[in-house]
């Protein structure tokens, strides 16, 4: 396989993977349905920022360093796992809060009356 065929096959696979919606698309959709439009834009901005940081790190050779150094790779995976555990624990802690409006994003919609209803009964 020559360079042209390698680049062509990589481009096709990368293009297909870009077009297929993934977990980031589901996260943005969930944010837009459960929260506000601004929250969904912030979610999309966070995902895009993370992708840019990853792309820049790969471009400057951090991925080659991680592939060459088992210690650096292990440290990064442990730090990432600790961060994920912290995120999960904080979500569990917030879900057990006594305030029902902070328990789930859907609770804030249930607590509000419908937009066109009158409060005078």
Give a yes or no: residue 71 inside a domain: yes
Q: Give the DSSP letter string of 13-38.
A: HHHHHHHS--HHHHHHHHHHHHS-HH
> Which pLDDT value is given to residue 111?
52
121 residues of the chain, pLDDT tens digit each:
778 888 888 888 888 887 888 888 888 889 989 998 899 999 999 999 998 988 888 888 877 888 888 898 899 899 999 999 999 999 888 888 766 555 555 555 555 555 555 555 4
Distance, in Å, from the CA atom of 20 to the CA atom of 52, rounded to the nearest integer, reads: 19
Quick one: 103 and 69 in the same domain?
yes
Q: Report pTM.
A: 0.47
pLDDT in tens, 78-93: 999 999 999 999 988 8
78 falls within a domain? yes
**DSSP state string for 55-68:** HHHHHTTHHHHHHH
pLDDT tens per residue, range 49-59: 998 988 888 88
Determine the 3-state secondary structure of 22 from DSSP.
coil
Q: Are residues 69 and 100 in the same domain?
A: yes
Instruction: State the total domains in the chain.
Output: 2
Q: Look at residue 51 and tell me if it is in a domain.
A: yes
Domain that holds residue 84: 64-110
Helix, strand or coil, per DSSP, at residue 20: coil
């Amino acid at each position: 396989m020559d360079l042209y065929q390698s680049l062509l096959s990589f481009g096709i696979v990368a293009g297909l993977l870009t077009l297929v919606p993934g977990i980031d698309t589901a996260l943005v959709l969930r944010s837009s349905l459960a929260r506000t439009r601004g929250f969904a834009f912030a979610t999309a901005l966070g995902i895009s920022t993370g992708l840019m940081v990853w792309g820049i790190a790969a471009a400057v050779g951090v991925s080659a360093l991680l592939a060459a150094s088992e210690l650096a790779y292990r440290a990064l995976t442990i730090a990432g796992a600790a961060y994920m555990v912290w995120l999960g624990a904080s979500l569990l802690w917030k879900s057990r809060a006594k305030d029902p409006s902070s328990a789930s994003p859907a609770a804030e919609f249930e607590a509000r009356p419908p937009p066109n209803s009158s409060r005078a009964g």
